[in-house]
Amino acid sequence: MTTKSWDSYFDEIEPDKWRFFDFYQHRQRQSDFNNSFSSESFVLKKSLDCLLEKGSYEAKKHAKRLLNTFKA
């Protein structure tokens, strides 16, 4: 995770291109990936919550979209 408390995926990919599957593929390439869906889901949720709090307008909009889908 970055010092901003969200995963680097969200810095590297444009907000309108954020997708769950792509996030997990990105995580698999990270040294701290632990192969546990629940742990990786926690990383995703923590990242999205942080983006809602500290991200740009676009980041907040797309983080909210993913969070709404995440809850379903």
Residue-wise pLDDT for 16-27, tens only, equals 999 999 999 999
User: What is the predicted pLDDT for the residue at 54?
Assistant: 97
Spatial CB neighbours of 44, under 8 Å, sequence gap ≥ 6: 7, 20, 23, 70
Spatial CB neighbours of 49, under 8 Å, sequence gap ≥ 6: 63, 67
Residues of the chain with pLDDT under 50: 1-2
Provide the residue ranges of all domains of the chain, joining segments of one domain with +.
9-71
* Other beta carbons less than 10 A from residue 46's beta carbon: 14
